[in-house]
Structure 1
Amino acid sequence: MGQDPLEEIRSPGARLKNRVKKLQVRSPPEEQDEEKESSGARLKNRVKKLSPPEEQGKEKESSGAHLKNRVKNCKSRSPPEEQGEESMMMASRSLQLFVLLVCSLTIITIECSEVEKQNPNLYNITKTVVHSAVSKGAVCLDGSPPAYYFDPGFGDGVDNWIVQISGGAWCVNVTDCIGRTKTNLGSSKYMDKLEFQGIHSKNKSANPDFYNWNKVILAYCDGGSFVGDVEYVDSATNLHFRGKRIFYAILEELLEKGLKNAKNALLAGGSAGGYPAVLYCDSFRDSLPSAARVKCLNDCGYFPHFKNPELEKNWHVRFSGVAELQGAAQSLPKSCTSKMKPELCLYSQNIQQDTKTPLFIFMSAYDNVETKYTFGDYMGGLVDGGKCSSSQNQSLIEMRSEFLNALPKGDNPKLRGVFVDSVHHHNSLLRRWIPETAINVNGQLHTKVFADWYFDRKYTYLIDETNELPLTNNARLIWQVDNTTGRVIYTA
């Protein structure tokens, strides 16, 4: 699906580096060339500068050996009063070193706490690797153990959980999948820290209903929307298609972390992760206490099966490849595969009717990934630039019509909530969750509509019927961070 625009966001670590660089401007000129050195290397150079010239060539001596040689030299050439002065000089240097160390640690502590306080909407989480999953055969494409990202809840949110399944398109042939094994989409070896944002924001004013929940994001490394359960591994490629096993292995670990005691829980997924949020919705519900409120959310992953062959042809190639590689005929529900081809069971519309747990769907009728895969990369630029021809607009309208027909019926919004807008964008759960970026349809924000639906305050089935053509994505805001204040700012 291309590079996520949010990868342009500066991480807190990068912001910290900029803050420290600004502090160094106030240091002596000779110290300003040390920006690329580690804090340990800088500290070592500072100590060298405090020492007499004849001592600066002794870097490789241990501190004990160094002190011993100094004492011997003092005894051989200095009278007692000079030795006392030397001891005082050493004590003074030790005090300077101690003060420098304390100041450095204080600066780092203050900077880190400022990053956390100033940016509750955007923060980094380190991966948790599930090594125990390997013995169950639950591994990434390259055979490495799966991973997830976990941020514990706090306050009255300690018994509430958001479990989100990541997206990242699909690999549709062996060559494509091998390519993924060298990235975080096919191997946990390449997974770095992950920036939590959107519904994972800790900002109470921006995210009042979910800010203090336990937050989990399942890393996506199987290439097939977590559906694969193929035992055989070709020695020539060493590709493993085990997404289904990954989901259940991570779920088992989360249950032991406290998910089994949940009072409120949400299984969500975006893009390629939206489908498994539907597929495993009932299993997720069944693993939790019967008294718990448990619901599911498919965000920007409800891609329709088009009846028009011209609209469907690219999707058919894509999902046929996924179904064959991942062994979908064996791993997907028989309630679907007994009625249609396995690749058709990879469309959410063909499995949602068998899902008993309440499900909510976020989707743009003109999702920009849908337009890309349906028409080609060129269409996105035409739509955003408002340069579509009359025939292209007609094709877009037909795409919208088929998508709306694929949605669940609106007669029971308690069981099937829907929020459909017309903005040419992708993903409502992360990029647009805070008020400044929320989607508005008929005066209703998608964040408020979903929260009301989840907490049984109001059940909504809402479709933008006003705009027949896509809206230019003038609300496509990229988060940036002011390096001086640490504040999150927005630019179109």
Structure 2
Amino acid sequence: MNLNGVVVVVALALLACAPRRSYSQLQRLKVPMTLVRNASALGAFCLDGSLPAYHLHRGFGAGTNNWLLQFEGGGWCNDIASCADRATTHRGSTRLMTKLEVFSGILSNNASLNPDFYNWNRVKLRYCDGASFAGDATFDNGTSLLYFRGQKIWEAIILDLLPKGLGRARKALLSGCSAGGLASFLHCDNLSNYLPENATVKCLSDAGFFLDERDISLNSTMRFFYKQLVSLQGVEQNLDKNCTSSLKLPYLCFFPQFALKYISTPFFILNSAYDVYQFHHILVPPSADLHGEWNHCRLNPAACDVNQIETLQGFRRDMLLALRVFIKYSRRGGAFINSCFAHCQSESQDTWFDVDSPRIRNKTIAESVGDWYFSRRVTKQIDCAYPCDTTCHNLIP
């Protein structure tokens, strides 16, 4: 067992022996915001025209030259009305964001809570564009001005971090949750262009594998949503050219299942097969359940009837089918596909690495990601179907 493996074992032993305290009882790491002051020169603005921002907590010791970049999530906007509304919230303006962010889970600086990445430089990229950091357009009708500049925001933040040490990175992990997890797919290969040739660069998506799936009314609700988003925010020009040239509908490359085969950087997919965001917005969106027949099931999986459970099992089968080639043939890829009703599991301490964290074959998410990143062992963990997993934290919003 190498040193990283020892750290994991010791950390788990300490957690098991120590008096049980919830993460809320531990001292939380709060990291201040950094505005990208020169972003305007690059045309990088949030939806409302404010400057983009990030939170950086410096690494130390052996992690001084290692970097973890975490895209913030938070949905999308696909038309002028929803984007204008978003611009008046913390999802579209750094002026309205919290200036201190709690770093937990994969962003923690505590070895007992985050054994593999605790001493790395850890960065949270704030999300304020509404297109997973991928748009490049402007809307101006004379009275309203909206900046769809996610691609520029990504570039501006990276350029700001390079002289702060990112340019000397030896190891790097590009990660993200939800819409940020989707951003990891979209920008994975690009990160290597900024780093030294000998740097080890890998990517992780948490709850970002959004499916091109028909809803219960057989409508392609998510496909239509993404089509509008890609068109409005000028995203297509920033999608993988090999992907867009291979499909009759290039905007489909915004879906990870179509983009994944063109990513050359080692990739880890962390996702629930019953991801609650996808359950509520892709499989059973409000437009497909006008009479509320799924209300009880949406709030509590145990309340689902036989037919609803079979529909959910079908969604799981479709997700595994979309991942089949990656899981079977990718030699450098990793996966942790569990059967918990959750959305985003890497930033929450309870689900990332704790005494009662979710497990597959007795491996936590943190251990599985660490094993994959440091090549300790091949890691592709696929959970059994609901309701077999008793370790789940079912987090229904």
Q: What range is the shorter-chain TM-score in?
A: 0.7 to 0.9
Spell out the pairing of 1:403-482 with structure 2 (5 A cutoff).
403-407=319-323, 408-431=325-348, 432-464=351-383, 466-468=384-386, 475-476=393-394
Question: Cα distance 1:236–1:473, how it changes in 2: closer, same or farther (>3 A)?
Answer: farther
Count residues in correspondence. Answer: 359
| In the alignment, structure 1 residue 172 sits paired with structure 2 residue 78 | yes
Q: Give how far 1:357 is off.
A: 0.5
Q: Which amino acid counterpart does residue 251 of structure 2 have in structure 1?
A: E
CA deviation after TM superposition for structure 1 residue 340, in Å? 3.3
1:273 counterpart = 2:180? yes
**Pairing 1:144–2:50 present:** yes
- Spell out the pairing of 1:205-284 with structure 2 (5 A cutoff): 205-231=112-138, 233-284=140-191
Q: What is the percentage of aligned positions where both structures have the same residue?
A: 37
Q: Deviations over 1:244-269 (max 9, x none)?
A: 01001101111111001111110001
Cα distance in 1 between the residues matched to 2:358 and 2:211? 21
The one of 190, 194, 198 equivalent to 2:105 is 198
Deviations 1:330-387 (A, max 9, x none): 2322222222324311101111111111000000100010101120366575152511
Counterpart residue number, 2:265:
357
- Mapped partners of 1:366, 1:403: distance in 2: 9
Q: Which has the higher contact order (CA 8 A, sep 6+)?
A: 2
Structure 1: segments with no counterpart, 5+ residues = 1-117, 479-492
1:368 corresponding residue in structure 2:
276
Q: Which residue of 2 aligns with 1:397?
A: 313
Using the alignment, how far apart are the partners of 1:143 and 1:331 within structure 2?
A: 21
Task: Evaluate the alpha carbon distance shift between residue 440 and residue 473 of structure 1 in structure 2; reply closer, same or farther with a 3 A threshold.
Answer: closer
- In structure 2, the partner of 1:96 is none
Question: Is this contact kept in 2: 1:322–1:343, CA < 8 A?
Answer: no
Residues 104-145 of structure 1 show CA distances to partners (whole Å, capped at 9, x for unaligned) of xxxxxxxxxxxxxx845x321111111211121110001111
**TM-score for both structures, normalised by structure 1:** 0.69
Tell me if the contact between 1:296 and 1:360 (Cα under 8 Å) persists in the aligned partners. yes
**Structure 2 gap segments, 5+ residues each:** 1-24, 287-291
Alpha-carbon displacement from aligned partner over 1:441-469 (angstroms, at most 9, x marks no partner):
122222111101000111111211x3255
Structure index of larger Rg: 1
Q: Deviations over 1:256-305 (max 9, x none)?
A: 11001111110001100112211111110221112221100011010111
Rounded Cα–Cα distance in structure 1 between residues aligned with 2:160 and 2:186: 20
**What residue identity is the alignment partner of 2:376?**
R
Shift of 1:470: 8.1
- From 199, 202, 205, the counterpart of 1:295: 202
Deviation per CA, 1:400-438, whole angstroms, max 9, x where unpaired? 111111114323454221110001001121112122353
**Aligned with 1:450: secondary structure?**
helix
**Structure 1 residue 313 displacement after superposition:** 2.2
Q: TM-score, normalised by structure 2?
A: 0.85
Q: Which residue of 2 aligns with 1:110?
A: none
Equivalence map 1:300-339=2 (5 Å):
300-306=207-213, 310=217, 313-338=220-245, 339=247
Cα separation, 2, equivalents of 1:279 and 1:292: 20
State the superposition RMSD in angstroms.
2.2
Residues 327/429 of structure 1: CA separation in 2 closer, same or farther (3 Å cut) = same
CA contact under 8 A between 1:424 and 1:472: conserved in structure 2? no
Instruction: Name the aligned partner's letter for residue 169 of structure 1.
Output: G
1:343 and 2:251 matched: yes
Q: Secondary structure at the match of 1:363?
A: strand
Q: Which amino acid aligns with 2:379?
A: T
| Secondary structure at 2:47 match in 1 | coil
For 2:198 and 2:326, locate their aligned partners in 1 and report how far apart those are by CA, in whole Å.
Answer: 27
What secondary structure sits across from 2:69 in the alignment? strand
More displaced stretch, 264-273 vs 435-444: 435-444
Mapped contact 1:393–1:469 kept (Cα < 8 A): no
For 1:161, the aligned partner's letter is W
Q: Note closer, same or farther for the CA distance 1:174–1:128 as it changes in structure 2 (3 Å cut).
A: same
- Partner of 1:189 in structure 2? 95
